[in-house]
Amino acid sequence: MVNLSVNINSENTSYPIFIENEEIQQTFNEIKLLLEKRNYLAVVSEKVEKLYGKILNIPREHKFVLKDGEKEKNFKNYKKITDCALKMKLTRRDAIIAIGGGVVGDLAGFVASTYMRGIDFIQVPTTLLACVDSSVGGKVAIDTDFGKNLVGAFYQPKAVFINPKFLKSLDDRQFKTGMAEVVKYSFIEKSCKCEEELNLTNFLSEKYEKILIRDEKTLLKLIEICVKLKISVVEKDEKESGLRRILNFGHTYGHAIEKITKYKKFTHGEAIVEGMKFAFNLAVKKNLIDKNYKFLADDVMKKFNFVVLPQFSLDKMIELMCADKKATSQNIVFILPTDYSAVEAFEINPKELEGILQFK
């Protein structure tokens, strides 16, 4: 078992992240031990409930099963879960546990952040995307009619339990969407300023076959590397006032793809892969990196057979990127590669961007 710790300087506290390859029932027993005799509400994804409900064996009165899909991360379900906690008479001493992917974690975490002004929250991510990204770092939110994640909070969990056994049942598309974020870490590793040299790019090149067959030991190591990188970033910049922005590598263009296709056609990871390719292309055109690095990055991405997306109208994409919540008043913010495994934030004026991209 790997036991990592996230130090939250603003609160002078820390929380553990356990990465363990034990039986799933064992993971849940450990959570109950941690809670001692406190009351809890587990928000469980419908898919997880179907596949692992019997093994998890959570009593019905402690469980809220949430349908799958981004559209469930809404005000209505926020209210339903809050009402459920109120009916159960959860107090500030009790806890909310999220068992599922990013939607469950974000929504249950947002309820936890507001319930009685904050109740303990435990994350059990069951998708690769949630293991390496959303379960770590305390971003919780719901979507609104005006956009995704527009109402939320930074609310750190009390503990995170990661068990790669859950990943066996992910379909290929879901697994690959997580792999997109994994590959992203390899392109930003040096900028994460982690004390330990993890060399994710080498790990991916050497182990990609084992990763693709979801060898448990390899996944355990892979998740450990990514979580260490994420911890290093969020410890230095919990509330995204600087360094944390590097985690958005590939996301400026990626979010625009998700918007233009109404979040329906492509997964988050598929859009992010395209966003990373866009960022590499832009970096070459801006002479930030040489072409060899771009070819090397293409090779890493090819190993994981990500789908190739169609071309989108540049005008429309620029318009959408300008509307991104991370854009400044006039400029679009891009995280771009500047060296092998290193990135920096750049603010680029839309007109300038058009000019750069049209220049062959």
- Active-site residue numbers? 117, 139, 181, 230, 240, 244, 248, 251, 255, 268
Using an 8 Å Cβ cutoff, are 65 and 49 in contact? yes
Partners of 43 in beta bridges: 64, 98
Assess 47 for contact with ligand GLY (CB under 6 A): no
Rule CB under 6 A: say whether 139 interacts with ligand GLY. Answer: yes
- Around Cβ 331, how many Cβ atoms within 10 Å? 16
Please tell me the count of residues contacting ligand GLY according to CB under 6 A: 6
Is residue 179 a contact residue for ligand GLY (CB under 6 A)?
A: no
Q: Are 165 and 126 in contact (CB under 8 A)?
A: no
Residue 184 binding ligand GLY, by CB under 6 A: no
Work out how close the CB of 181 gets to ligand GLY at its nearest, in angstroms, rounded to a whole number: 8
Taking the least distance from each CB to ligand GLY, the nearer of 42 and 136 is 136
Q: Minimum CB separation from ligand GLY for residue 87, in Å? A: 32
Write the Ramachandran bin of 137: left for phi over 0, alpha for psi from -120 to 50, otherwise beta.
left
When asked if residue 244 is in the footprint of ligand GLY (CB under 6 A), the reply is: yes
Nearer to ligand GLY, 133 or 189 (CB): 133
Can residue 137 be called a binding residue for ligand GLY (CB under 6 A)? yes
Chain residue at closest Cβ approach to ligand GLY:
247
- Compute the least distance from the CB of residue 299 to ligand GLY, in Å: 25
Is 133 an interacting residue with respect to ligand GLY (CB under 6 A)? yes
Site membership for ligand GLY, residue 326 (CB under 6 A): no
Which range, of 28-36, 89-97, 133-141, 266-274, touches ligand GLY by CB under 6 A? 133-141
**Residues whose CB is less than 8 angstroms from the CB of residue 54 and which lie 6 or more positions away in sequence, other chains included:** none
**Rounded least distance, CB 137 to ligand GLY, Å:** 4
- Contact region for ligand GLY (CB under 6 A) — 42-50, 239-247, 256-264, 296-304? 239-247
Structure tokens at 131: 């293991």
Cβ–Cβ < 8 Å for 232, 195: yes
CA 128 to chain centre: 9
- The DSSP result for 311-354, as a single string, is P--HHHHHHHHHTSTTS-SS-EEEEEEEETTEEEEEEE-HHHHH
Structure tokens at 29: 């027993």
CB of 247 to ligand GLY, least distance (A): 4
Q: Does 268 bind ligand GLY (CB under 6 A)?
A: no
Q: How many CB atoms lie within 10 A of CB 218?
A: 19
Please state the closest distance from residue 234 (CB atom) to ligand GLY, in A: 7
Distance (Å, whole) CA 289 – CA 162: 36
Rounding to the nearest 10 degrees, give the CA dihedral for residues 78, 58, 227, 164: -130
Task: Using CB under 6 A, list all residues that contact ligand GLY.
Answer: 133, 137, 139, 240, 244, 247
